[in-house]
Structure 1
Amino acid sequence: MARLVVVSNRVSAPKSGTRAGGLEVAVMASLKHNPGIWFGWSGRVSVKTLETRTIESDRISFVLTDLPKEAYEEYYYGFANRVLWPILHYRLDLAEFSRQDLSGYTKVNEHFAEELHKILRPDDVVWVHDYHFLLLAKALRERGHQNRIGFFLHTPFPPVEIIAGLPHHERIISALCHYDLVGFQTEIDAANFARYVESECQYPGNRKDGYNTGERVVQIGDFPVGIETESFAKMARRAIKSSFVSGVLASLSGRAMIIGVDRLDYSKGIEHRIAAFERFLEHHPDWRNNVTYLQISPKSRSAIPEYMDMERNVSTIVGRLNGTYGEASWTPVRYVNKAHTRTALAGLYRGSRAALVTPLRDGMNLVAKEYIAAQDPEDPGVLILSRFAGAAMECKPALLVNPYDSEAVAAAIHRALSMPFEERRARYEALYKIIAANDIQDWPGRFLKALTGSPTLAASITKPDEPPPTESASGYSAPSVVVQSFAS
């Protein structure tokens, strides 16, 4: 019977100490209906012996592999987060490319392929997640595997004019054409990649029928990620009554609360957002001492200089704003770097009059959808959403804003806080209907159906004519793979 093999950088395995963040919900939903393997990094780096171990839990095998310390730093802190992350978020100016980091990135993709090679069966279906593994399908193909392999990018995918700024893009991005299906969050992202395949790889085909590489037909699709809408709404109803959330709301002394929840990342637009809130207080003095903005931003990738700089900048801006407008009995902005549980956040969302979800660029942004699901239908809050978040493609009844325009965001804050009940309820009902129709439980089935022809793997999947080799095609210490250019 075919197994589903999910691959991601982080794995939320029992007792592993590693969390997969927002990816966890999506992957667990896919493995719920298709028991199989979740393969990824163990969370450990080693300078000597690399270990791969398996944890069995509830019909799922969690296969975890260690990574070499030097290669991990080059792969993760180097190429993945100092080159791919900024470029995929339209920030060529922040990319810092080095051949050494690319070498580390390639080695880690090779290591994952080698460990997968040992356990992969001919009829397994492989689903690879995110920008950490652009080269993985190519490495698996080189080891003889002809399995159906799909890839999903959780970040945005920029236009050709930006992605071509990635050094060696013809070696890296073109490697995605070794996948059978490449999926994206939005139609815009999918169209950008299709244009790349047409202009840079010059493969014949189109979005509807796929692109013929000579070895396979590569399909491209958009599969917007959702949330578990109904269960999150139930969670929020319970959480609002918890001692933690009740304490936070009581501390407001009757003031309205605006909430923002983001990793501390330059793509989230936190500095721009705080500046917009400051402009709101400047233009609407009647709201001073009547509203509190709670920004929860757990620290992220603190070892990278750009993130350290951002952390200092945000703290400085918040301190200045609070010093200018705050009073002994009122702090305009509560800025918290501590992570909170989803349950606690669900309750805080429900107790907030408005949410500021204003990334400068985001693949989807599930905070926007969670905020909607958490609302009280009898007294719903208002979502203020960046037009540059993937969620904006679905959530058009929100107040859509340009996060670079502080005046427009300030005006949206005032509109949200002053919005009549009937308009708030109408917008909420429209938004809830939209996100409920795209529940996370249905998302894996849509992707797998596009990849295999069936939403579950119980249906037969075409097997390759030749089985993969039983011996290693290359060791981890082999020279870095040079990914061929597909330009003709």
Structure 2
Amino acid sequence: MSRGRRYGLVVAVDRLPAADPDDSRDHVDAMLSSLRPLVAARSGAWAPAGGEGSGDGVLGVHPPARADAAALGASLLRSLCHHQPVDFPSGWFESYLAVNRRVAAAVAASASASATVWTHGHQLQLLPRMLRRMRPDLTVVAHLHSTFPPAESFARLPEHRALLSGLLGADVIALPHQRAVDNLLDLAARVHGLPVRDGRITLGHRALRVIAYPLPADTAGAGRLGRLAPVRAAGGRIREAMRVTGTVLLSVAGWDPADAVEQRLHAFERFLAEHRPAPGEVALLHVACGDPRTPAEDAQRERVDRLIAKINGTHASVGQAVVHYVRAEPDRRDLAALYLACDGILVTPTHHGTVTAAHEFIAARGGLGATVVVSELTSGVTDLPGAIAVNPHDTGSFADAIAQATGRHGPAPRARHADAPPALDGWAEHLITAMGTRGVGVAATPERRARRLPTGSHARHTRPGGYEVGGPPLAARRVVGR
């Protein structure tokens, strides 16, 4: 970073995104990578909490000694937001606080007067309030791509006041869907006693907006990659290697239990037991992305390994698996090749989430057609006419959905987009532009309806506006979210 240089736009993130969106390892990384041209065009800068690199356009953030504990805390917060029981280790919050302070110091020293700051990710939830205290001239938007849990779950975390106080330092909080917005507003009003009306939370003389601003699927990028000759060739090699004459269903997920990998496997096992297809006639290709980041994810990996071994031991034949299992970190090109190699995809989170992978699967396959099984608990199912909706917790109906997707009840239905999905780069530009005006409104959609909560009955509650971030040390260990 050049000494004395100031930036009118700073994007503070958990990690520095890939320089090329096609090199991205997940959808969120692709979204952040799509911001690079916009940040460069505005002579902006990145502030990565992980401390990756420094120089022109990247602020030098030196992680504290226990930065790994802060990253673990962010992973645990993500799991809590996904309705999973989590075990927060002793000392996590002190390290988490230290990371936020270092990023805040770097941003405050490098942002120009009245600059715009976009914070993204669970590792930086304290950052907006810190910046408001250090640089009240800045406009800050806090963006979380994960859902926000019900107030009862989040309030079990002893540090919930500090975390909410941190978020409420922003001018706008952007969440992926309306249910997440409602949960945050409910936490602010019912648990913390703050006045809430029409999607705004009042804190003293200012009000901040909480908006539903879902991250769109990168359908344009997926469609472009699906037309590339090298990607199509790679997809052909994957399909040939599996030696399946019938239907191949794809499952791509990390180790978050909320992705419902175990539910998918149990349903596929039941489908095999009920319909008994010959090995090589139907297969499931499961791609496990990345490494587990929490103890719960470690435990899930062990269960998934055992379950896949059991299914193959029962239903496969020599040299012909029924579940093809790969641990990998596919980039966007690899994902497009996987999409082309398979006939259908399972996108079945266990709670209110999104179906971006389903949209990208359809776009990548183009005229080949796409069969999609989605969770009826997700956001945006109505945007996919022809998709097979299922409750992932109902193993029997899930197995029936797999039978329908594999043509056991007639031709498998083909899914399509109800409307042309918004472009990923346009989404990012609109959000960054909206950040330029405090309290800016965002065009109303069904996901952004007004929210009114009573405010007169909460006068006795402690308000996070007066809470000092960085409270007393934690007890040894606490399980939150059960």
Match of 2:14, as an amino acid? Answer: N
Which structure's relative contact order is higher, taking Cα pairs within 8 Å and 6+ residues apart? 2
| TM-score calculated relative to the size of structure 2 | 0.82
Cα distance per residue 1:281-328 (max 9 Å; x no partner): 1111246531111000023235x4323222221111101100000012
Query: Aligned partner of 1:12: which letter?
Result: P
Is 2:12 the partner of 1:7? yes
Q: Does 1:400 align with 2:381?
A: no
1:178-217 aligned at under 5 Å gives the runs 178-208=169-199, 210-217=200-207
Q: How does 1:352-431 map to 2 (within 5 A)?
A: 352-361=342-351, 363-377=353-367, 379-392=368-381, 394-395=383-384, 397-418=386-407, 424-425=413-414, 427-428=415-416, 431=417
> Is residue 319 of structure 2 the alignment partner of residue 323 of structure 1?
no
- Residues 256-279 of structure 1 show CA distances to partners (whole Å, capped at 9, x for unaligned) of 211011112222111111111001
1:128 CA displacement:
0.6
Identify the match of residue 76 of structure 1 among 48, 63, 71.
71
Give the alignment partner of residue 259 of structure 1, picking from 240, 250, 257.
250
Mapping for residues 303-318 of structure 1, pairs under 5 Å: 304-318=294-308
Name which of 155, 167, 188 aligns with 2:158.
Answer: 167
Indicate how the Cα distance of structure 1 residues 240 and 395 shifts in structure 2: closer, same or farther if over 3 A, else same.
farther
| Matched-pair contact (CA < 8 Å) for 1:41–1:64 | no
Measure the CA separation in 1 of the matches of 2:427 and 2:170.
Answer: 19
- Aligned residue number for residue 226 of structure 1: 216
For residues 123-157 of structure 1, the C-alpha deviation after alignment (integer angstroms, 9 at most, x for no partner) is 21111112111110111122133311001111111
For 2:25 and 2:131, the matched residues in 1 are separated by: 23
TM-score (norm 1): 0.81
Do the aligned partners of 2:345 and 2:372 also contact (CA within 8 Å) in 1?
yes
Paired AA for residue 164 in structure 1:
A
Match of 1:332 in 2: 322
SS of equivalent residue, structure 1 residue 69: coil
Change in Cα spacing, 1:338 to 1:395, as seen in structure 2 (3 Å) is same
- For residues 206 and 312 of structure 1, do their structure 2 counterparts lie closer, same or farther at Cα, with a shift above 3 Å needed? same
* Paired residues for 1:428-439 under 5 Å: 428=416, 431=417, 433-434=418-419, 436-439=420-423
Change (3 A) 1:367 1:324: same
3-state SS in 1 of match to 2:187:
helix
Q: Is the 8 A contact 2:292 2:301 kept in 1?
A: no
Work out whether residues 82 and 149 of structure 2, in 8 Å CA contact, stay in contact via their aligned partners in 1. yes
Aligned pair partner of 1:107 in 98, 104, 107: 98
Checking the alignment, whether the CA contact within 8 Å between 1:87 and 1:163 is kept in structure 2 is yes
Aligned mate of 2:47, from 14, 39, 52: 39
Q: Which sections of structure 2, spanning at least 5 residues, go unmatched?
A: 1-5, 441-467, 473-482
1:453 Cα offset (Å): 4.5
Q: Which moved more, 1:233-242 or 1:404-413?
A: 233-242
User: Is the 8 Å Cα contact of residues 116 and 140 (structure 2) preserved in structure 1?
Assistant: yes
1:88 to 54, 78, 81: 81
Asked if structure 2 preserves the Cα contact closer than 8 Å seen for 1:233 and 1:373, the reply is yes
- Is the Cα contact below 8 Å between 1:181 and 1:450 reproduced in 2? no
**Which AA in structure 1 matches 2:272?**
L
C-alpha separation in 2, matches of 1:401 and 1:2 = 48
Distance 1:3 1:406 in 2: 52
- Equivalent position SS for 1:321: helix
Distance in 2 between the 1:170 and 1:132 partners? 16
CA distance in 2, matches of 1:31, 1:344: 22
Structure 2 equivalent of residue 138 of structure 1: 129
* Residue pair 2:162, 2:470 contacting (<8 A) in 1 also: yes
Contact 2:64 2:98 in 1 (8 A): no
What amino acid does structure 2 have at the position aligned with 1:221? I
Q: Which runs of 5+ in 1 are unaligned?
A: 45-51, 457-479
Pick the aligned partner of 1:273 from 259, 264, 275: 264
Cα pair 2:217 2:421 within 8 Å, conserved: no
- The amino acid across from 2:239 in the alignment is L
Corresponding residue SS for 2:354: coil
Q: What secondary structure does 1:124 align onto?
A: strand
2:240 alignment counterpart:
250
Q: 1:13 to 1:270 in 2, by over 3 A?
A: closer
2:382 & 2:88 partners in 1: Cα distance?
32
Aligned residues: 432
How far is the alpha carbon of 1:255 from its aligned partner? 2.9
The root-mean-square deviation of aligned C-alpha atoms, in Å, is 2.8
Q: Is the 8 A contact 1:257 1:291 kept in 2?
A: yes
Residue in 2 that maps onto 1:471: none
Structure 1 match to 2:470: 482
Q: Which residue of 2 aligns with 1:470?
A: none
Query: Which residue identity lines up with residue 218 of structure 2 in the other structure?
Result: E
For 1:330-370, what per-residue CA distance to the aligned partner results, in whole angstroms no more than 9, with x for missing partners? 21000100222311221221232210112224643532221
Aligned to 2:62: 66
Cα distance in 1, alignment partners of residues 99 and 231 from structure 2: 46
Tell me the amino acid that sits aligned with residue 363 of structure 2. Answer: A
Q: Tell me the CA shift for residue 393 of structure 1.
A: 6.5
Alignment check: 8 A CA contact 1:255 1:291 kept: yes
User: 1 CA distance for matches of 2:118 and 2:429?
Assistant: 12
Is the 2:185–2:196 Cα contact (8 Å) retained in structure 1?
no
Which range is displaced more, 105-114 or 2-11?
2-11
Cα pair 2:147 2:176 within 8 Å, conserved:
yes
Aligned residues of 1:380 and 1:424 also touching (Cα < 8 A): no
CA deviation string 1:434-486 (max 9, x = no partner): 3x3322122124423543359x9xxxxxxxxxxxxxxxxxxxxxxx94379xx
Identical aligned residues as a percent? 22
Contact 2:130 / 2:169 at 8 angstroms: preserved in 1?
Answer: no
Corresponding letter in the other structure for 1:399: I
